[in-house]
Amino acid sequence: MDERITALRERIDELNLELLSRLSERATIAEAIGRVQTELGLSHYDPVREQAMLETLVAANRGPFTDAAVKSLFKQVFQASMQLEQEQDKSRYLTSRRTHRSDTVVSVDGVPIGGDHSPVLIAGPCAIESREQLGAVAAFLASRGVRLLRGGAFKPRTDPYSFQGLGLEGLRLGRDACDAHGLAFVTEVMDAADVPACAEHADVLQVGARNMHNFTLLRKVAQSGRPVILKRGLAATIEEWVMAAEYLLSGGNTEVILCERGIRTFERFTRNTLDVSAVALVKLETHLPVLVDVTHSGGRPDLLVPLTKAGLAAGADGVMIEVHPNPAVALSDNKQQIDFEAFDAYLEATMYHELLSPGRTELYGA
């Protein structure tokens, strides 16, 4: 090593320590300010103050940094201090594993979801179409040991002229079929005005991908008194998804289950791309249970088994899957739903074979 460099580095080492002591003192004072702000209900972020500080610093700048570099560096310093202030606010980010270390377990009709419990399987048709259709599915799924039935009474459809669901009548059919077969009823709510009716009939409310950013709906669902499955938006970042859950928790609902359902990418062989990294990251960063919707993520029956295995291996606490007595005549999602025979093959090929076997009876095909 060149000795000129060695000499210069000694002075750098001194400066580093001088910087550290001043940064630490500065942060301690910032924390004190933060406490006063919290007490007074003020925001920690005061852009006018920040701008004034930057102007003072730029005016004092004699180089070699450009003014822009000085601003940039001190913005980092401001941000680091503000993060400290934020961490003092205990109520901040209720979704975070830092504020709630242990796994949240949501219990639905005696079935625990999350934590160390066995992965749950939520199955049923895309849409509730008739008493006969739903009764057949409910009987079949119950015979296979499934405990939660999904079925849509309100369907978000891209085309306004497509079948939009049976509405309130669908909710009643769902409740009846579940009661008849000892199942819990999971259904999507699309409209804040429908939250009371959905909460009355269903055991779990679902917020769909198209409504993940519908903050009005999130706030109403937060007050519904029912557990919620929150799907990730079509192209929502993980951060946005967790913040949508934060709307639910901060609104008073602690029984929140996340559901990854594939994101939009350039790939054409699959309808969406199942993002297993997102599953793993929300398990790391939040304490909430997370499911994978294997029907919508791939959009292909031949991927249901591998996506189930991959999702559970990444840490998911369960799976959602669409099952219909006769997919070819379904009023929606024709190509994605599987029939009873295919569902049995699916169970055989996954760990759900063992998990669900106890209560199983041979209704279908008998």
Q: Is the peptide bond preceding residue 289 cis, with omega within 30 degrees of 0?
A: no
Residue 154 token pair: 């309100």
Burial of 366 (0-12, 13-18, 19+ CB in 10 A): exposed
**172-166-153-190 Cα dihedral, nearest 10 degrees:** -120
Min dist. Cβ of residue 184 to its own copies (A) = 26
Instruction: Map tokens 């852009």 to a residue.
Output: 47
3-state DSSP call for residue 272? Answer: coil
User: Considering just the CA atoms, what is the radius of gyration of the chain in Å?
Assistant: 26
Min dist. Cβ of residue 181 to its own copies (A) = 26
Min dist. Cβ of residue 182 to its own copies (A) = 31
C-beta closer to its own copies: residue 74 or 364 = 74
Residue 173 token pair: 């059919």
C-beta closer to its own copies: residue 181 or 232 = 232
DSSP string, 169-199: HHHHHHHHHHHHHT-EEEEE---GGGHHHHH
C-beta closer to its own copies: residue 107 or 265 = 265
Residue 195 token pair: 């939250």
CA separation, residue 83 to residues 5, 88, 90, 242, 357 (Å): 36, 9, 13, 19, 50
C-beta closer to its own copies: residue 72 or 357 = 72
What is the C-alpha separation between 335 and 302, in angstroms, rounded?
A: 11
Residue 79 token pair: 């941000």
Instruction: Return the amino acid letter for 176.
Output: D
C-beta closer to its own copies: residue 182 or 215 = 215
Min dist. Cβ of residue 342 to its own copies (A) = 16
C-beta closer to its own copies: residue 19 or 180 = 19
Min dist. Cβ of residue 320 to its own copies (A) = 16
C-beta closer to its own copies: residue 184 or 244 = 244
Min dist. Cβ of residue 67 to its own copies (A) = 11
Min dist. Cβ of residue 143 to its own copies (A) = 25
169-202 residues labelled b (16+ CB within 10 A) or e (exposed): ebbbbbbbbbeebebbbbbbbbeeebbebbbebb
C-beta closer to its own copies: residue 12 or 366 = 12
Min dist. Cβ of residue 363 to its own copies (A) = 24
C-beta closer to its own copies: residue 165 or 174 = 165
Min dist. Cβ of residue 186 to its own copies (A) = 20
C-beta closer to its own copies: residue 88 or 361 = 88
161-165 contact pairs (CB < 8 A, 24+): 162/332, 163/127, 163/331, 163/332, 165/127, 165/128
Residue 16 token pair: 């580093």
Min dist. Cβ of residue 112 to its own copies (A) = 22
What is the C-alpha separation between 297 and 292, in angstroms, rounded?
A: 8
